[in-house]
Amino acid sequence: MPISETWLLPDGVADVLPEQAQVIETLRRQALDFLANRGYQLVYTPFIEYIESLSSLSESNQDLDLATFKVIDQLSGRLLGVRADMTPQVARIDAHVHPVEGVARYCYAGTVLHTKPQGFNTTRTPLQLGAELFGSDSIDADVELIDVMISLLEKTGFADGIHLDLGHVGLFRSMVKVAGLNKATERQLSDLYQRKALPELAEFTQDLNFGADFYTLGRYASDLAALQTHLSAEVIADAEFKHAFDALKTTQSEIQARWPNLQMGIDVVELRSYHYHTGLMYAVYAPNRAAPLAQGGRYDGIGEHFGRARPATGFSCDLYALSAGRFQQNSLVVAPKGTQTDLIQAIEHTRAQGMSVIQLLGQDDLTTLPYATHQLVNVAGQWTVEQI
């Protein structure tokens, strides 16, 4: 590689410069402090693990498996994976490293690595922050996580105009079981729902067992009342369908009661990560942003891979995405050279006030510090901070 190109980074990887790095770090601290206040314990997980450990989700989520970088460990000869998601690692902690009896709450923040960008104009190295709750299969746990997620976004400056989308994979999954569909047909239906392709859905379901119901699910995906009216009595009476439907209605009602001004929508055929989610799914969107600010859902049994299956629900977000478009220029005070006592005391006093202070070096003057905003000057024997 020519010397002129050695500073280039791979596609989807970027440096974070001071003006945005400060915003991201402030967000991280605010978020982790908030989650700690809500009872979520902070954990740090390793950047790399044996691939078997990271496969607790990838076995049921091929997208995650494809997103995971794999390398050979030079010490053991075994295959390692660089984490593409921190949820499997937290599940491992819950199952074996810190096996709490009863409900356990954890939070985390760390860089993950993806083999390819997971969306348009996204990084391959997101700074993932999230919260997970293990040990409760109650709808109250899902409501708590959604409330925490919305509160966190409000805390970090996204109070206005956000929109919550709710779904539940149990509706589609129970109908597939009732209709006795094979995996190939299930995948085709899932794809049609994801693309919102109603004309294709109408044609595809014409000769399908319970075809009218599958079309109804897509047509009235955002209207629970209409869905209940138009679905067949056999589908409505199915115990698994009824459980999922009631859970979705209850969650919608409870979140609306807690957040009366929140814009909320239902989409029962939003089947992202369908293969590993087991129940309620949720995502928060902001105006003029295509990707969700934060998203999550229920994934019961995730710890089974580690020998301890537990109910679980959680959410995550990318702090880089949350900070997009935000920049912060910090104040910087320049002090003159010198070791006199009153100058050193003035510098320490200014730093104690929360301002950053640097002293000039060698032959430096203010022209060598174009990013400085203030200077420490001696006026009539008193050191004061003046704006440049």
How does DSSP classify residue 303? G
CB 311 within 8 A of CB 137: yes
Residue 132 labelled as part of a binding site: yes
Q: Which DSSP string corresponds to 346-360?
A: HHHHHHHTT-EEEE-
| CA nearest neighbour of 228 among 245, 212, 240 | 245
Residue 78 labelled as part of a binding site: no
The stretches of 198-332 forming alpha helices (DSSP H) are 198-204, 211-219, 224-230, 233-237, 239-258, 319-322
- Alpha carbon distance 249, 168 (integer Å): 10
Residue 160 labelled as part of a binding site: no
Residue 240 labelled as part of a binding site: no
| CA nearest neighbour of 295 among 285, 305, 307 | 285
Beta strands in the chain (DSSP E): 41-42, 48-50, 69-72, 79-82, 104-111, 127-134, 163-168, 263-266, 280-285, 294-298, 312-318, 332-335, 356-359, 374-379, 382-387
CB 309 within 8 A of CB 134: no
Residue 85 labelled as part of a binding site: yes
Residue 147 labelled as part of a binding site: no
> Which residues face 295 on adjacent strands?
283, 316
- Alpha carbon distance 380, 165 (integer Å): 63
Burial (0-12, 13-18, 19+ Cβ within 10 Å), 90: buried
CB atoms within 10 A of CB 41: 15
- Alpha carbon distance 51, 65 (integer Å): 10
* HSE-up (13 A, CA, CB side) for residue 73: 12
Residues flagged as binding site: 85-87, 128, 132, 272
Residues flagged as binding site for L-histidine: 85-87, 128, 132, 272
